[in-house]
């Protein structure tokens, strides 16, 4: 009988937010077309490391398993990406798996992305409605604008662009830069006919400390975004919009151009 083919995972683990990280090696049964999540599930079923020791199952986050929710972001072979879309057959082995460094580790590969969710509140990343009663049909968005707005709406707050951004991860400063995704999303909500009512508030948020002035235009973000969102185009648009808002503030008029 032919020996079962295996694939090797070297996983960076951490037992608690305050404990030190360590690496643990696992050999799991290989299956054609398996992704990283499938490999982690194999370890969960039989948490025995390469030395034959019974260990605690590896902890990770996942949800949709079709690259829509953004929950399974991790660093695979040195690249931040979605584990559900990372196929073992396309990766060099042994496969190294680590949590993203930008965010605090909760346990093993589970990270705390609160900084992103707090930033979503800061930029008012929603379309407000007045009550829950039927307001009737809203104003239509021009088709050309709708098409590019749809591309921006694909953002799943996965955090990969923050992981790749050198300005987010500048350890020399107490950096509170909100990151590329949170610079792009105001463009989406400001483009909406109803969302535009809060346009100036979103721009004011980007003009504060940690906002658009923290971008160094390294363009790493647009290269790693799993949804291909034109982040740098949005950042350029928001840079122009915040400059216009600054002129409006200076002259004390919302009618300045």
Residue 209 per-residue DSSP state: T
Dihedral sign, Cα of residue 237, residue 240, residue 246, residue 247? negative
H or E element in which residue 240 lies: helix 231-251
Q: What is the DSSP string of 23-34?
A: EEEEEEE--TT-
Q: What proportion of the chain, given as a percentage, has pLDDT over 90? A: 81
Strands 73-76 and 22-29: unpaired
CATH 3.10.20.30 fits 6-111, yes or no: yes
Pairwise pLDDT comparison (171 vs 15), residue with the higher score: 15
pLDDT at 140: 85
What mean pLDDT is predicted for residues 85-113?
A: 96
Listed by start position, the domains of the chain span: 6-111, 114-251
pLDDT band for position 257 (50/70/90)?
A: very low
Q: How far apart are CA 17 and CA 105, in angstroms?
A: 6
CATH code for the part of the protein at 114-251: 1.10.1060.10
Tens of pLDDT, residues 59-90:
999 999 999 999 999 999 999 999 999 999 99
Average pLDDT, the chain: 92
pLDDT at 141: 87
Helix/strand/coil (H/E/C) assignment for every residue in 110-178: EECCHHHHHHHHHCCCCCCCCCCCCCCCCCCCCHHHHHHHHHHCCCCCCCHHHHHCCCCCCCCCCCCCC
Asked if 75 and 110 touch (Cβ cutoff 8 Å), the reply is no
What mean pLDDT is predicted for residues 207-230?
A: 93
What mean pLDDT is predicted for residues 195-209?
A: 94
What mean pLDDT is predicted for residues 21-41?
A: 96
């Amino acid at each position: 009988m032919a020996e079962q083919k295996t694939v090797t995972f070297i996983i960076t683990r951490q037992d608690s937010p305050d404990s030190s990280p360590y690496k643990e090696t696992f050999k799991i049964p290989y299956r054609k077309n398996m992704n990283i999540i499938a490999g982690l599930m194999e370890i969960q079923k039989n948490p025995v490391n390469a030395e034959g020791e019974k260990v605690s199952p590896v902890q990770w986050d996942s949800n949709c398993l079709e690259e829509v929710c953004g929950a399974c972001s991790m660093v695979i072979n040195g690249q931040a990406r979605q584990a559900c879309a990372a196929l073992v057959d396309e990766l060099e082995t042994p496969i190294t798996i680590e949590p993203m460094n930008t965010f605090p580790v909760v346990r093993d590969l589970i990270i705390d992305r609160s900084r992103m969710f707090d930033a979503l509140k800061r930029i008012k990343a929603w379309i407000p409605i007045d009550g829950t009663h039927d307001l009737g049909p809203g104003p239509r968005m021009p088709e050309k604008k709708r098409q590019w707005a749809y591309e921006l709406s694909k953002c799943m707050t996965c955090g990969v662009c923050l992981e790749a951004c050198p300005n987010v991860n500048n350890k020399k400063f107490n950096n509170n830069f909100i990151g590329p995704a949170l610079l792009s999303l105001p463009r989406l909500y400001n483009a909406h006919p109803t969302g535009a009512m809060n346009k100036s508030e979103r721009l004011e948020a980007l003009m504060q400390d940690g906002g658009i002035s923290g971008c160094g235009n390294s363009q790493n973000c647009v290269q790693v975004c799993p949804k291909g969102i034109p982040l740098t185009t949005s950042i350029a648009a928001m840079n122009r919009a915040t400059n216009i808002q600054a002129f409006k503030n200076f002259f004390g008029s919302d009618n300045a151009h």
